[in-house]
Structure 1
């Protein structure tokens, strides 16, 4: 996933980094590499700190590209600090780069993951990559918490559990269909 994330950073990095006079040209590649790494490690940290709900909420609506989203803000602040520390960018320059990249990259990442016609990012691959392959329990926790809101209580017992997951998988076209319904596809 890091390679795919790097591709998104490069896609949006022209305006925020390459054409930015506050970033010396010799730092362009390093700054974009740092952005990719910061986004990935920041998302991993959120999950490891128990923030699976925050990551799950990125998939709801169109808020993944909003600077007011708490995850976007946290990652923007982290990248801004890293750019100042590692590359000596001024606070304004680092904030400008981070603010120009993070919302666009996350918005695109989540948009691609939610698009059933775009197979470049799959929700399950993102979760597994960020959780080190241990995403199952945090996904089930998020399903427990939010599943009823999305019609996932398949047996109408008032809770979303493994039996509902299995029923949804069998009824909705496999795990992809189930995750698609969960994340609004």
Structure 2
């Protein structure tokens, strides 16, 4: 997946990196690599810290990336830090690069992932790559649909403990005999 992600960054980087006079030509590939790493590690960190809802929110769009999504902000912030520290760019230049490049690449990633005729990316493949294969056997497309339908099971306008307790107990009834992570996720997501 990283090679494909690097290509997406490369495709989006013409204006923001390659044609940018603030970045010496000999550093173009390194900056593209850093942006790719920031995206992959940012998604990986979000999943590892349990921020699945915001990650799934990215993939539940039609390629229109919500810049207020905490995952997008984190990825952009990490890229800004890397560009200022590793490439000695000033903060405003680094912020402009991240502000243009990250939403563009994430939008392309989402579009390609959601396009059934594009076999280059799949939600299952991306999550499996980011989690070291720990999502094998899960139907992430179905989970994404559950997020699209919302998790506010009690209709009070928020997703809180009451919603989760209801989902887990309903799922436990439906998933009797199904243990482990699959059973728990099935309970949470109503499978």
* Structure-2-length-normalised TM-score: 0.72
Structure 2 Cα separation of the partners of residues 2 and 133 of structure 1? 15
Structure 1 Cα separation of the partners of residues 122 and 148 of structure 2? 23
Runs of 4+ in 1 over 4 A off after TM superposition: 136-140, 158-161
Query: Unpaired runs of 5+ in structure 1?
Result: 151-157, 165-181
Map 1:55-70 onto structure 2 (within 5 A).
55-62=55-62, 64-70=64-70
Q: Are residues 160 and 64 of structure 1, via their aligned partners in 2, closer, same or farther at CA, if it must alter by over 3 Å?
A: farther
| Higher-RCO chain (CA-CA 8 Å, sequence separation at least 6) | 1
Aligned residues: 158
Rg larger for:
2
**Equivalent pair of 1:16/1:97 in contact (CA under 8 Å):** yes
Structure 1 Cα separation of the partners of residues 144 and 64 of structure 2? 22
2:97 aligns with 97
2:11 aligns with 11
- Deviations along 1:150-180, one digit per CA (max 9) or x if unpaired, are 8xxxxxxx8568x79xxxxxxxxxxxxxxxx
Q: Does 1:35 align with 2:7?
A: no
Q: Are residues 73 and 62 of structure 1, via their aligned partners in 2, closer, same or farther at CA, if it must alter by over 3 Å?
A: farther
Structure 2 Cα separation of the partners of residues 129 and 25 of structure 1? 31
**Equivalent pair of 2:56/2:147 in contact (CA under 8 Å):** no
Structure 2 Cα separation of the partners of residues 39 and 148 of structure 1? 23
Q: 1:69 Cα deviation (Å)?
A: 2.6
Q: 1:68 Cα deviation (Å)?
A: 2.6
2:119 aligns with 119
Indicate the SS of the match to 2:62.
coil
Structure 2 Cα separation of the partners of residues 20 and 148 of structure 1? 38
**Equivalent pair of 1:148/1:160 in contact (CA under 8 Å):** no
Structure 1 Cα separation of the partners of residues 14 and 134 of structure 2? 35
* Structure-1-length-normalised TM-score: 0.74
**Equivalent pair of 2:60/2:144 in contact (CA under 8 Å):** no
Structure 1 Cα separation of the partners of residues 75 and 15 of structure 2? 19
1:169 aligns with none
Indicate the SS of the match to 2:60.
coil
What RMSD over aligned residues (CA atoms) do the two structures have, in Å?
3.2
Query: Unpaired runs of 5+ in structure 2?
Result: 151-166, 176-188
Indicate the SS of the match to 2:21.
coil
